[in-house]
Amino acid sequence: MEYIKSSWKNITMNKARTVLTMLGIIIGISSVIAILSIGNGLKSDLTGSLDDMVGGAVTININTKKTPKTLKNDDLMVIADAIPIIRGVTPNVTQYGISYYRREMGTRIFGGNTSSACEFDKGFYSGKYYTQDDVDSGNDVCVMSQTSALLIFGSTDVQGLQFELTINETTRILTVVGVVRSDEAELERFREIVKSGDIDYFYADIYVPYSLLSDKYNLGKDEFTSFQIYPMPGQADEAAAKAKTLAENILDLRGQGAVAIQSYASLMEMYANVLDSVTMVIALVAAISLLVGGIGVMNIMTVTVTERTREIGIRKSLGARTSSILFQFLVESSMISLFAGFIGMILGFVFSSVLGKLAEIQAVVHASDVAMVVAISVFVGIFFGIYPARRAATLNPVDALRAE
């Protein structure tokens, strides 16, 4: 207690110097905290979107380098029927084209079967999904979201409207049979975008029967190297594994590794890993600035010891043991760095919440981070305080008393 009191006195006696000494540690700690809390925020953002995806699609690919074999729509139907925890299986064909309704609009076309309706969980704004009959005959129909309707037509009330869709050289007239509900906020955003006319950077997404693409646009045949399954909620892993095994059986490719599951979960995991390594790199930078800050503390403590040589002599003559002097200076250096740690922590919080607001990330602060900061600060204080404190403690009292 006495040590803390006297350390406090010495620290506050020379405020400017103390603040300058603390600067390095403040920068180090605040960047550690900012990085950690933003990193945590990003991660929980990611896991948040992952949760949304769990009920969503899992893509299964056939490696075209390992086998020329492909699956037919009928094979996919077999898979869908054989595995009860799968809600649907659809081919996965993506094309790019141009829609025309009073103006041109870049469009992504997703070809599938009726199961691809599972993609939409928000329900229909108007109309319904294309039917099995549409798939069988390759009818010129499509489904789109409200936002895509805005992009193509400038309105969401588009059920029954027709527009031209050109893929490569082929142009056909498609009828909108259903409009899928979009997120309200998203919709509002797109209204603004369409109003400003700044739509060049966007694609409209439309969903058509795969047979329309293969038969009418002459893009490929009923041969698929990629398909999507829609598992029951929470059973994605099991469903994907079963679908993969079944696909291997159908293709007679058991144990060759030619069929692979590409889930969003694994993509997200990869993303999270990248984020982790970025965090590590910045943590390293922060560690270096802590090191520099620590050396600053050591430097100033050495100066302090030299300045206070006489005081140390007096204390020794009054019966201070080596350990008392050592402890006194260690308390002082730890207090400096602990104090700097707290300031750095607060700055870090401020910094991360400002940055979080700008980047629309909810910065998350864990109690463990705070504990870590305290631990690091005290460690830095003690580690870099030991050398000057030992110098002070082992001074010869006669010489120390003689010092001016």
Partner 1 sequence: MDTQTQKTTALVQVTDISKIYNPGENEVRALDHVSLTINEGEFVAIIGQSGSGKSTLMNMLGCLDTPTSGTYMLHGVDVSHMTDDEQSDVRNREIGFIFQGFNLIQSLTAFENVELPLIYRKVPRRQRHQLAKAALEKVGLGKRMDHKPGELSGGQQQRVAIARAIAQAPPILLADEPTGNLDSASSRDIMNVIHSLYEEGRTVIIITHDPGIAAQAKRIITISDGHIIDDKINPSIEE
Binding site for partner 1 (CB under 8 A): 2, 6, 9-10, 13, 310-311, 313-324, 394, 396-398, 401
Q: Which is nearer to partner 1, 64 or 394 (CB)?
A: 394
Provide the pairing of β-strand 103-112 with 204-209.
parallel
Q: Which is nearer to partner 1, 3 or 100 (CB)?
A: 3
Q: Is the dihedral of CA 217, 219, 223, 224 positive or negative?
A: negative
Write down the residue that tokens 């940055």 correspond to: 355
The minimum distance between CB 329 and partner 1, in angstroms, equals 14
The minimum distance between CB 313 and partner 1, in angstroms, equals 8
Q: Which is nearer to partner 1, 372 or 401 (CB)?
A: 401
Q: How far apart are CA 53 and CA 312, in angstroms?
A: 66
- State both tokens at 245: 């095994």
Query: Around 342, how many Cα atoms within 13 Å sit in the side-chain half-sphere?
Result: 6
The minimum distance between CB 394 and partner 1, in angstroms, equals 8
The minimum distance between CB 281 and partner 1, in angstroms, equals 44
* Cβ atoms within 10 Å of 320's Cβ, excluding its own: 18
Q: How far apart are CA 349 and CA 170, in angstroms?
A: 57
Q: Which is nearer to partner 1, 4 or 371 (CB)?
A: 4
Write down the residue that tokens 């992009």 correspond to: 151
Q: Who contacts 129 (Cβ-Cβ below 8 Å, separation ≥6)?
A: 114, 117, 143, 177, 178
Q: Which is nearer to partner 1, 10 or 156 (CB)?
A: 10
The minimum distance between CB 20 and partner 1, in angstroms, equals 20
The minimum distance between CB 381 and partner 1, in angstroms, equals 20
Helices (H), 112-235: 132-137, 146-153, 184-196, 210-211
The minimum distance between CB 33 and partner 1, in angstroms, equals 33
H or E element in which residue 380 lies: helix 367-393
Closest by Cα among 130, 7, 134, 110 to 57: 110
The end-to-end CA distance of the chain, in Å, is: 29
Q: Which is nearer to partner 1, 238 or 311 (CB)?
A: 311
Q: Which is nearer to partner 1, 290 or 305 (CB)?
A: 305
The minimum distance between CB 342 and partner 1, in angstroms, equals 24
SS (H, E, C) 243-295: HHHHHHHHHCCCCCCCEEEEEHHHHHHHHHHHHHHHHHHHHHHHHHHHHHHHH
Q: Which is nearer to partner 1, 6 or 162 (CB)?
A: 6
